[in-house]
Amino acid sequence: MVRFTGGLLLFAAFTAAAPPDLFSNKHNPEQAVLKPPSKAQPKPRKLQGRFLHITDLHPDPFYESGSDPDEACHHGKGQAGYFGAEVTECDSPFTLVNATFKWIEENLKDQVDFVVWTGDSARHDNDEKIPRSDKQVIKLNRYVVNKFVEVFGKPDNLDDPDPTNDFVVPIVPTFGNNDILPHNIFTPGPNKWTRAYWSIWNKFVPEAQRHSFARGGWFFTEVIPNKLAVFSLNTLYFFDSNSAVDGCDLESEPGYEHMEWLRIQLQFLRQRGMKAILTGHVPPARTQSKQNWDESCYQKYTLWMRQYRDVVIFSTFGHMNIDHFMFQDEKDLKYSFKFESINSDLTGPKTFEPESNAENFTIAAKATYLNELRNEWSELPSPPHGYTYGQSVAHDEVETEKKGKKKKDDEKEYRKFLKAIGGEWGERYSLSLVSPSVVPNFFPTLRIVEYNITGLEDHHPAVGVIGTPAKMADFDVEDALEDSFPEDEQPKSEDDSDEMHDMKKKKKKKGKKKKPKKPGFPVPKPPSKSSPPGPGYSPQPLSLISYTQLYANLTKIHEELEKDKKGADPNKHFDYHVEYTTNDDVYGMKDLTVRSWLDLAERIGRDTLPSAETNDVEDDLGVDQSNPVTLRRHKKGKSKTMKNHLWITFIKRAFVHTKPDEDIEQDFG
Ligand X SMILES: *[C@@H]1O[C@H](CO)[C@@H](O)[C@H](O)[C@H]1NC(C)=O
- Rounded Cα gap, residues 120 and 60, in angstroms: 11
CB of 365 to ligand X, least distance (A): 8
Is residue 372 classed as helix, strand or coil in its secondary structure? helix
Sign of the torsion formed by the C-alpha atoms of 114, 119, 123 and 126? negative
Minimum distance from residue 345 beta carbon to ligand X (Å): 32
From the number of C-beta atoms within 10 Å of its C-beta (0-12, 13-18, 19+), residue 49 rates as: buried
Q: Least distance from C-beta 646 to ligand X, angstroms?
A: 18
In the bound state with ligand X, the residue whose beta carbon lies nearer, of 147 and 281, is: 147
Q: Could you write out the three-class secondary structure of 576-611?
A: CEEEEECCCCCCCCCCCCHHHHHHHHHHHHHCCCCC
In this structure, are residues 659 and 619 in contact, taking their beta carbons and an 8 Å threshold? no
Q: Report angle CA 32, 36, 37 to the nearest 5 degrees.
A: 135
Closer to ligand X by Cβ: residue 465 or 621 = 621
Query: Considering the complex, what minimum distance in angstroms separates the CB of residue 593 from ligand X?
Result: 8
Considering the complex, state which of residue 98 and residue 212 has its C-beta at the smaller distance from ligand X: 98
Min dist CB 543 to ligand X, Å, is 6
Q: Report the nearest approach of ligand X to the CB of residue 101 (Å).
A: 8
Question: Which one, 262 or 598, has the nearer CB to ligand X?
Answer: 598
Do strands 50-54 and 324-329 pair parallel, antiparallel, or not at all (unpaired)? unpaired
Nearer to ligand X, 151 or 264 (CB): 151
3-state secondary structure of 520: coil
> Closest distance between ligand X and the C-beta of residue 267, in Å?
25
- Residue 664 β-bridge partners: none
Query: Cβ closer to ligand X: 173 or 254?
Result: 173
Q: Which is nearer to ligand X, 96 or 245 (CB)?
A: 96
Amino acid residing at 292: N
Q: Which is nearer to ligand X, 307 or 437 (CB)?
A: 437
3-state secondary structure of 115: strand
7 vs 78, which CB is nearer to ligand X? 7
Tell me how far, at minimum, the Cβ of 261 lies from ligand X, in Å: 31
- Cα separation, 352 vs 333, in Å, equals 14
* Nearer to ligand X among residue 37 and residue 455 (C-beta): 455
- Give which of 596, 591, 656 is closest to 620, Cα–Cα: 656
| Strands of 544-551's sheet in order across | 171-173, 115-117, 50-54, 445-451, 544-551, 577-581
CA torsion through residues 1, 578, 374, 611, sign = positive
Q: Give the burial class of 359: count Cβ atoms within 10 A of its Cβ; 0-12 exposed, 13-18 middle, 19 or more buried.
A: exposed
Are the beta carbons of 235 and 293 closer than 8 angstroms?
A: yes
Rounded Cα distance between 485 and 337, Å, is: 10
Nearest-approach distance from CB 290 to ligand X, in angstroms = 13
Residues that bind ligand X (CB under 6 A): 7, 94-95, 98, 146-147, 150, 356, 358, 360, 452, 454, 539-541, 543, 545, 553, 555-556, 559, 591, 621, 657
Distance of closest approach, residue 201 Cβ to ligand X, in angstroms: 18
